[in-house]
Amino acid sequence: MLHKIFNYIFLKLISFYKKLLKIRRFRKVEFDYFSKKYRLYNKNYFFILFGKDKFVSRNTFVNGPHDSYFLDSSINLTKKQIHYLIDVGANIGTFCIPGVLNNKIKECIAIEPVNRINKILKINISLNDLENKIKVFDYVISDKSKQKLNLIENKFNYGDNRFQITQKKQKIFNSRKLDTFINYFDTKKLIIKIDVQGFEDRVLIGSQKFIKKKVPLIIEFNSSFKRSKYFQKIINLLEDNYSSFFYLENISSKFNDIKILKNKLNNLNKSNTEINCLIL
């Protein structure tokens, strides 16, 4: 009799715990206070997460793969057959892996230059059996090769690692122009995502072949972008080759004329530090 009572209580506790796991606030507490160096996320996808990362890993644990809905929305908005993705700033794969597993994307290039994150990205691709569909590179995507770069790593936000051009003796990172990949995929069926924490000006200057092919861009613009020496040149490139942009944070918004993007970027400030756009 006691055995049956114990089993009943035990099953009720498990049921209660499973219900708690569905509550976002509880999942935040679980991640913040019970994570060690790594955590495993295994709902529809498998991800090794960083226990100290309070942004990409934490958001994934609480809400599901970070920013993956941007890809679904963007593909629908392009109204084109999109088969390929270049993911610049792939982090641990929360953007590209769901896209391939859900058959939104057939093949992908994932680019992540930070060594500790690149290692986990490769593990996550392997956990989801996607080694034949996602090819990983550790390049810093920029406007030149073999640049002197300084990496500033954020200890608690692994999505906020920043590269800076420097003249001092620093590690020489394996940098490449994105145009290096121009012949990998059919550009008519390609979409490019760029999330590089203030380095987007260098990425775009090194992507002029893709821009002139009018490849759709999913891009996070940082407030520092407006201070770039390439700002006006990039604005001219975008205005010459694209017609509109869409705010991805607000799916109820409408397409905006590309010619007002400059003003929107100039208005970014400390309280509104970034915007995520689809450029078409």
Tell me: do 45 and 81 sit in the same domain: no
Tell me the residue range of the domain where 165 lies: 63-279
With a CB cutoff of 8 Å and minimum separation 6, the contacts of 107 are 83, 84, 85, 100, 133, 134, 135, 185
Look up residue 160 and give its two tokens. 């906020």
Average pLDDT (238-247) is 96
Tell me: do 99 and 192 sit in the same domain: yes
Q: Count Cβ atoms below 10 Å from residue 21 Cβ, excluding itself.
A: 12
Q: What is the pLDDT of residue 120?
A: 95
Tell me: do 77 and 98 sit in the same domain: yes
- What pLDDT, in 10s, does the model give residues 224-241? 899 999 999 999 999 999
Look up residue 3 and give its two tokens. 């055995």
Q: What is the pLDDT of residue 26?
A: 55
Look up residue 266 and give its two tokens. 């100039």
The model's confidence at residue 49, banded by pLDDT at 50, 70 and 90, is very high
Domain boundary among 45, 61, 77: 61
Number of domains composing the chain: 2
Tell me: do 109 and 9 sit in the same domain: no
Helix (H) or strand (E) holding 10: helix 2-21
Tell me: do 189 and 89 sit in the same domain: yes
Tell me: do 258 and 248 sit in the same domain: yes
Q: Half-sphere exposure (CA, 13 Å, Cβ side) for 63?
A: 11
Tell me: do 176 and 191 sit in the same domain: yes
- What pLDDT, in 10s, does the model give residues 8-42? 455 545 554 555 445 566 567 668 766 788 989 99
Among 102-111, 137-146, 149-158, top mean pLDDT goes to: 102-111
Average pLDDT value for the chain: 87
Tell me: do 50 and 73 sit in the same domain: no
Q: What is the pLDDT of residue 249?
A: 85
Give Cα 48 distance to the centre of its chain.
16
Contact criterion met (CB below 8 Å) for 84 and 190? yes
Tell me: do 146 and 264 sit in the same domain: yes
The model's confidence at residue 156, banded by pLDDT at 50, 70 and 90, is confident
Q: What is the pLDDT of residue 271?
A: 60
Q: What is the pLDDT of residue 241?
A: 98
Tell me: do 79 and 47 sit in the same domain: no
β 140-141/134-137 pair status: unpaired
Tell me: do 16 and 45 sit in the same domain: yes
